Amino acid sequence: MPDHSTAPVPQPVQIPERADTVGPGWQELLGRLHHQLRAMVPGYRLVDLGEKFGGLRVHVESVGDDGDATRTLITAAEAESMRTCEFCGAPGRVRTREDASRGWRKTVCDTCHGLWSAHHLMIVNGAVRGRPSEA
């Protein structure tokens, strides 16, 4: 029998390693989700993290009996993301540029919606590029 206690443990990819896939407004809720998941499954493995149809999407490898519990946490965080501006973290909702009936969707607050509609805001590698505010 090999002695597993001395074998190097591969570090699974977790939320902090991929958090810069989405905007700064969601970093706080991602950090919270990470700690909640760690409390339940310390070695949880992140499969995918990104933005889809304006909201946050997180996929974690399901781990036995904890699958339902982790799913509940993730669902709550995804729902929260759709009420949280991805640019700045203020209360927001899923909108399109200029509130057009179709087009790219993003969760934005009123202030960021105007700037984003005017193509003054974009998210690159987890940071907001462009003019962060008109103030």
User: Nearer to Zn ion by C-beta: 47 or 90?
Assistant: 90
Q: Are 102 and 96 in contact (CB under 8 A)?
A: yes
* Residue 109 binding Zn ion, by CB under 5 A: yes
CB of 76 to Zn ion, least distance (A): 21
User: Nearer to Zn ion by C-beta: 88 or 123?
Assistant: 88
* DSSP 8-state assignment for residue 45: -
CB of 20 to Zn ion, least distance (A): 18
* Residue 87 binding Zn ion, by CB under 5 A: yes
Three-class DSSP category at 1: coil
Residues 6+ apart with CB under 8 A from 53: 94, 105
CA quadruple 7, 15, 58, 64: dihedral sign: positive
User: Nearer to Zn ion by C-beta: 24 or 73?
Assistant: 24
* Residue 90 binding Zn ion, by CB under 5 A: yes
CB of 86 to Zn ion, least distance (A): 8
What residues does 57 pair with on adjacent strands? 50
The binding site for Zn ion (CB under 5 A) comprises 85, 87-88, 90, 109, 112
